[in-house]
Structure 1
């Protein structure tokens, strides 16, 4: 009986899983374009950043452990000292002037690239909720 319920649950929920996977894949594709147009100059092609100047996004503990802070930096720019992978960065990141959807998309891209793997999708509501 438990097996039948498990199989029925999987069949019922399967379309929802695929929908989330499709939404994430589409967001990542859009986010890659945003990244290439706005972020690549400072954070480089593989998210490696520029040593002691611009923090890496690849394998970034700052990005993965505090996505809200990363969203805030993208949304409003950054003037504070941050620590990424044990190195302090005190540069300035200007506000790129992106729309909330673009911020969500680029966050999904960088959070799922270069060895990063996010457990949740960033949506527009999450970005809208981040205040200065």
Structure 2
């Protein structure tokens, strides 16, 4: 009986383990994308540059509306935005990333520096974001 319970629990929990593995792999790839494309402006701990480049760490803008972050990465950003009560007017050029890279870097950002997202960003989500 114990073996049946063990097998049943493994079958029930395996999708959750796979999802955690997929997220961990996406975060690892996203860290590399971040280091190659984002770190110069948003800094090593996602703190940004005061009054110039918004923080990504503990960013209400990203945590409440990740689709805005996806849109900014996918198409660049020219509009002013407000992050944690501070207005930013800078421009972010489109980095030219593939949809998978955008999903990965968003998963990295949303799960780093104290950020904790309950949602995994996948390629389909990125593809659905329009200008």
Q: TM-score range by the shorter chain?
A: over 0.9
Q: Tell me the secondary structure at the aligned position of residue 115 of structure 1.
A: coil
Q: Determine if the alignment matches structure 1 residue 96 to structure 2 residue 81.
A: no
Q: CA deviation at 1:10?
A: 4.6
Aligned residues: 127
- 5 Å matches for 1:19-58? 19-58=18-57
Distance in 1 between the 2:110 and 2:11 partners? 29
Counterpart residue number, 1:4: none
Q: CA deviation at 1:9?
A: 7.0
Instruction: Give the unaligned 5+ runs of structure 1.
Output: 1-6
1:2-51 alpha-carbon deviations (Å, 9 max, x no partner)? xxxxx987543200000000000000000000000000000000000000
Instruction: Give the unaligned 5+ runs of structure 2.
Output: 1-5
Counterpart residue number, 1:85: 84
Q: Tell me the secondary structure at the aligned position of residue 74 of structure 1.
A: helix
The TM-score, its normalising length taken from structure 1, stands at 0.92
1:47-71 alpha-carbon deviations (Å, 9 max, x no partner)? 0000000000000000000100100
CA separation of 1:8 and 1:42: change in aligned 2, threshold 3 A: same
Distance in 2 between the 1:75 and 1:9 partners? 42
Q: Which runs of 4+ in 1 moved over 2 A?
A: 7-13
The TM-score, its normalising length taken from structure 2, stands at 0.93
Distance in 2 between the 1:87 and 1:10 partners? 48
CA RMSD in angstroms comes to 1.5
Counterpart residue number, 1:64: 63
